[in-house]
């Protein structure tokens, strides 16, 4: 007889859970979420949680927004489906592309729509190849990403991803993907090395990799401005300035993966502004629709579009696109979400709330378990360590991150454990009071974890 609820039992019998350790899931059962409103979600037993990760870093306007629901409903009645293949188009895709061109910093000429961050990055990688072939540089194909990067899970995006679980068993990365150093100062700097010195060393290491590979074979560098799934890793001072100089020197395209950081997350509308980035192309998804509908966008510059248009005289159709590229309901929802961002001044309010968020999280720097506090705007993490003085990590087998995550849940807070880093990325619409409540739950869970860690004797002597 199963100890799980009837709903959880049915779920386990039928659903293949992605990104899950299946052996553990089968023992512990799924958490069935049945409802969401504002920044809260409820499980099947009626327990309320603050969604401290905005779903998967995406539900920036929270849950159950009535206006968005209305727009989706109206769009279903007006034009529930339309595609963009060949000569077809529809108004919501057109208007959203126009709006993104206005809103996104940089000089982009066209917008390609997909449905997920992964497919946006796959599109990017295919575009880079197509473009270089079109302009007669067929050797320029290699993609450089970074260790601990997360760019999604489709074949090419997962190859760019620099995290072992997304490669293991899948025979990835495929050929032509390289991973340069992870820019996490706390973990990877030499003793006494400043952030700026660390950044100089990483840029030199990137340059050495490019020279080793032959610059004529390196097509593009892809990077998240803040690495999310790698542990909320904020780049060290001067990092992107130095990296971009290397890319320019060797004529290497820069793809900014703003799938998490886009739309107000870092205290500016886009992280390109926060970190002074001038990418050639950009991937957007998640908060583009505040996760009310699946949608991604690839922002494409004129020079790339022109090269592709020119070669089409010879090659015929550009053979890439999805049945649901520019889906009318997704693009209508995207338009409404962007309208709400502007009308309600969501990014400016999120920037102010982000300052409070950083003040709250910075207080945990004194906590005996916390080795590093990091973040920017409304995204952050605390990394738990066995020895606060020297940053020694816990033995992964001791499961400290998992324990802390369970305490968060018991205290009514959903967040994410990335190893022993506990990540937060709450909806942009979180109120000041809600933010205070979120951090008091987070703090209680850390204290309870500390008690357990002491009981188990896991702190380093
Ligand atoms: C930076 C980044 N890129 C790409 C993706 C992949 O997005 P999706 O899960 O929508 O395919 C994610 C997902 O978390 C992400 O964080």
User: For the sheet containing 110-114, what is the strand order?
Assistant: 110-114, 296-300, 281-284, 253-257, 218-223, 142-146, 177-180
The reply to whether 2 falls in a domain is: no
In a shared domain, residues 80 and 175: yes
Locus of tokens 């949680």: 49
In a shared domain, residues 391 and 271: no
Last residue of a domain, one of 310, 343, 376: 343
In a shared domain, residues 322 and 174: yes
Contact status, residue 253 vs residue 128, Cβ threshold 8 Å = yes
Q: Mutation test of ligand 1: which of 18, 60, 117, 271 has the most ligand atoms closer than 8 Å to its C-beta? A: 117
383 lines ligand 1 (CB under 6 A): no
CATH number at residue 308: 3.40.640.10
Q: Which atom of ligand 1 is the closest one to the Cα of 56?
A: 14
In a shared domain, residues 37 and 160: no
118 lines ligand 1 (CB under 6 A): yes
pLDDT at 296 (0 to 100): 99
CA–centroid distance, residue 123 to ligand 1 (Å): 13
Contact status, residue 376 vs residue 226, Cβ threshold 8 Å = yes
In a shared domain, residues 138 and 50: no
In a shared domain, residues 272 and 157: yes
In a shared domain, residues 129 and 77: yes
CATH number at residue 403: 3.90.1150.10
259 lines ligand 1 (CB under 6 A): yes
In a shared domain, residues 352 and 324: no
pLDDT at 459 (0 to 100): 94
pLDDT at 240 (0 to 100): 98
The reply to whether 121 falls in a domain is: yes
In a shared domain, residues 267 and 383: no
The reply to whether 1 falls in a domain is: no
150 lines ligand 1 (CB under 6 A): yes
The reply to whether 326 falls in a domain is: yes
The reply to whether 461 falls in a domain is: no
What is d(CA 315, CA 318) in angstroms, rounded to the nearest whole number? Answer: 8
The reply to whether 8 falls in a domain is: no
Burial 378-404 (b: 16+ CB within 10 A, else e): bbbbbbbbbebeeeebbeeeebbbebb
Coil, strand or helix at 295: coil
pLDDT in tens, the chain (461 residues): 568 999 999 999 999 999 999 999 999 999 999 999 999 999 999 999 999 999 999 999 999 999 999 999 999 999 999 999 999 999 999 999 999 999 999 999 999 999 999 999 999 999 999 999 999 999 999 999 999 999 999 999 999 999 999 999 999 999 999 999 999 999 999 999 999 999 999 999 999 999 999 999 999 999 999 999 999 999 999 999 999 999 999 999 999 999 999 999 999 999 999 999 999 999 999 999 999 999 999 999 999 999 999 999 999 999 999 999 999 999 999 999 999 999 999 999 999 999 999 999 999 999 999 999 999 999 999 999 999 999 999 999 999 999 999 999 999 999 999 999 999 999 999 999 999 999 999 999 999 999 999 999 999 97
The reply to whether 403 falls in a domain is: yes
In a shared domain, residues 81 and 104: yes
- Which uninterrupted H or E stretch holds 103? helix 91-103
285 lines ligand 1 (CB under 6 A): yes
Q: Where are the alpha helices (DSSP H) in 226-327?
A: 239-249, 271-274, 302-315
Query: In which domain, by residue range, is 165 found?
Result: 68-343
In a shared domain, residues 242 and 351: no
* Counted domains in the chain: 2
The reply to whether 195 falls in a domain is: yes
In a shared domain, residues 58 and 43: yes
Last residue of a domain, one of 343, 377, 404: 343
Last residue of a domain, one of 324, 343, 362: 343
CA–centroid distance, residue 285 to ligand 1 (Å): 8
* Closest C-alpha to 291, from 36, 7, 18: 36
What tokens does 259 get? Answer: 């799938």
pLDDT at 320 (0 to 100): 98
pLDDT at 1 (0 to 100): 52
CA–centroid distance, residue 258 to ligand 1 (Å): 9
């Amino acid at each position: 007889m199963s100890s799980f609820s009837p709903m959880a039992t049915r779920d386990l019998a039928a659903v293949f859970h992605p990104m899950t350790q299946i052996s553990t899931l089968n023992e512990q059962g799924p958490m069935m979420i049945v409802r969401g409103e504002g920044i809260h979600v409820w499980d099947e037993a009626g327990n309320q949680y603050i969604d401290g990760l905005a779903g998967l870093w995406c539900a920036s306007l929270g849950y159950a927004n009535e206006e968005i629901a209305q727009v989706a409903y109206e769009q279903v009645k007006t034009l529930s489906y339309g595609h963009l293949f060949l000569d077809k188009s529809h108004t919501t895709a057109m208007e959203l592309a126009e709006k993104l061109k206005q809103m996104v910093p940089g000089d982009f000429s066209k917008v390609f729509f997909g449905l997920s961050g992964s497919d946006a990055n796959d599109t990017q990688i295919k575009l880079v190849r197509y473009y270089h072939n079109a302009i007669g540089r067929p050797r320029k194909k290699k993609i450089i990403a970074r260790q601990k990067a997360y760019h999604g899970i489709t074949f090419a995006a997962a190859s760019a991803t620099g995290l072992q679980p997304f490669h293991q068993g899948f025979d990835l990365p495929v050929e032509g993907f390289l991973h340069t150093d992870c820019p996490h100062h706390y973990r990877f700097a030499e003793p006494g090395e400043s952030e700026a010195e660390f950044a100089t060393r990483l840029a030199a290491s990137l340059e050495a990799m490019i020279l080793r590979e032959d610059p004529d074979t390196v097509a593009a560098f892809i990077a998240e401005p803040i690495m999310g799934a790698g542990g909320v890793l904020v780049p060290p001072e001067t990092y992107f300035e130095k990296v971009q100089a290397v890319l320019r020197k060797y004529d290497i395209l820069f793809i900014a993966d703003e799938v998490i950081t886009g739309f107000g997350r870092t205290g500016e509308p886009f992280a390109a502004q926060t970190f002074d980035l001038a990418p050639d192309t950009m991937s957007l998804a998640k908060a583009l629709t505040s996760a009310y509908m699946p949608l991604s966008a690839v922002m494409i510059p004129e020079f790339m579009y022109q090269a592709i248009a020119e070669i089409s005289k010879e090659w015929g159709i550009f053979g890439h696109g999805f049945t649901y590229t520019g889906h009318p309901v997704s693009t209508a929802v995207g338009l409404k979400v962007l309208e709400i961002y502007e009308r309600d001044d969501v990014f400016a309010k999120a920037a102010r709330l982000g300052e409070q968020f950083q003040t709250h999280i910075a207080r945990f720097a004194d906590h005996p378990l916390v080795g590093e506090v990091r973040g920017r705007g409304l995204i952050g993490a605390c990394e738990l360590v066995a020895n606060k003085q020297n940053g020694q990590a816990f033995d992964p087998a001791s499961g400290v991150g998992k324990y802390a995550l369970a305490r968060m849940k018991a205290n009514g807070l959903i967040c994410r454990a990335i190893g022993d880093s506990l990540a937060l990325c709450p909806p942009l619409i979180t109120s000041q009071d809600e933010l205070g409540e979120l951090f008091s739950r987070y703090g209680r869970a850390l204290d309870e974890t500390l008690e357990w860690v002491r009981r188990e004797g896991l702190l380093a002597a």
